[in-house]
Amino acid sequence: MTFPPFVFVYPPEGNPEIPRGTRLLWYPSIRELSFSPTGTTEHLDELIATGLVDDAESIRISDFAKKAVRLPDSIARLTSLRSVRIETSQFADWPGVYRIPTLRTLFVDEKVAELPDGIGQLKALEELTIKGKKIASLPEDLGSLPNLRTLVIVNAPITHLPDLSGLTALQTLRLVWTKKLKVLPDGLDTLAALERVETDMVPLTEIPVGLAQHANLRALVIRGGKVKKLPDVSWPQLRELENFGPLKKLPKTFEAPALEHVVLGDALPALPPLPADSLQSLDVNAPLTSVDPALASVNRLRLTCTKQAYAALSDDEREAFGARLRAAWA
């Protein structure tokens, strides 16, 4: 059997011109189906009926595919389907997506205006990326995805996250430009698999106490937040800590014996106790009022200290730091 005339089969090499009349594109090398601007649900249904794409692993509905508003019922035939990418605001068949039992990866682009409840049906889902500047709320059953490993939310005007305590397999939580989100949900400490929490330009005002006591967390990255103080910290597995913002106050308890990479902002007057023997990089822009000479052993180092702190070091200690330690003379 041959492909229908409205299907363009992309060759493994070159950059061919796509013929007029193309409604669907098939990329056999990556097993991906993609809609052209004039492709419809009916075209996909007809192609699936041929059996020629039974091994399809990915479907992409781009922003240009205005006529691809739903998935055909025959999508159930694609038992190898692992990934769906929705980029058009015209698509409305979320129940059809939620009925794909084999789905591992779901990408929702910024043109999408709504992500309704029902996503909890995707029990095999491992990676979810929501890049939607129109999505003001997330489905409440998002927190019931037992195999989700990575959750990325970008540029969504959400004010809160749903209860995530059911994401027992979650390893990475990444939030970018969610500019109305000020707090993380409680219960993150119950997620034993969680290893990385990263926020970028998210106006967080605090770190949940439970997260500060997470036994398995390996990376906490907060860029452009509003966190001014930390609760008592116990991170036995933490390797990476970044808090580039207005952090001013350290907790009474700070235990992070495995730290390797640390970046701190420009408001902290003193450093917490850091394991100089395990540190590989340390970058602090604040004018520190004291400097631990042992930190000179850190390979990648950039520190700023006050004139008084610099003067308190011996000549040998200043020589050990070299240009990696700068005195703020102003």
Within a domain: 201: no
Within a domain: 329: yes
Within a domain: 137: no
Give the structural domain span for 286.
279-330
State the pLDDT at residue 329. 60
**How far apart are the C-alpha atoms of 207 and 229, rounded to whole Å?**
8
**How far apart are the C-alpha atoms of 142 and 163, rounded to whole Å?**
8
Within a domain: 226: no
Tens digit of each residue's pLDDT (9 = 90 or more) over 122-151 = 999 999 999 988 899 999 999 999 999 999
In the block, residue with structure tokens 């400097």: 291
Question: How many Cβ atoms from other residues are within 10 Å of residue 188's Cβ?
Answer: 22
Within a domain: 138: no
Within a domain: 107: no
Within a domain: 297: yes
Write out the two tokens for 162.
Answer: 């749903």
Within a domain: 327: yes
- Reduced to 3 states (helix: H, G, I; strand: E, B; else coil), residue 112 is coil
**How far apart are the C-alpha atoms of 140 and 159, rounded to whole Å?**
13
Torsions phi, psi for 296 (to 5 deg)? -65, -15
Would you say residue 85 has pLDDT above 50? yes
Count of domains for the chain: 1
Determine the distance from the C-alpha atom of residue 208 to the mean position of all C-alpha atoms in its chain, rounded to a whole number: 19
State the pLDDT at residue 13. 82
Residues in a beta bridge with 301: 282
Task: Please compute, for residue 93, the number of CA atoms within 13 A of its CA located in the half-sphere on the CB side.
Answer: 16
State the pLDDT at residue 245. 81
Mean pLDDT of 14-26: 92
Tens digit of each residue's pLDDT (9 = 90 or more) over 144-191 = 999 999 999 999 999 999 999 999 999 999 999 999 999 998 889 999
* pTM of the predicted model over 0.85: yes
**How far apart are the C-alpha atoms of 123 and 125, rounded to whole Å?**
6
Would you say residue 86 has pLDDT above 60? yes
Tens digit of each residue's pLDDT (9 = 90 or more) over 243-297 = 878 888 888 999 999 999 999 987 888 899 999 999 999 999 889 999 999 999 9
State the pLDDT at residue 330. 46
State the pLDDT at residue 303. 95
Q: Which of 114, 44, 123 is nearest to 76 (CA)?
A: 44
**How far apart are the C-alpha atoms of 22 and 12, rounded to whole Å?**
18
Residues 6+ apart with CB under 8 A from 80: 31, 54, 55, 56, 57, 102
Mean pLDDT of 207-224: 94
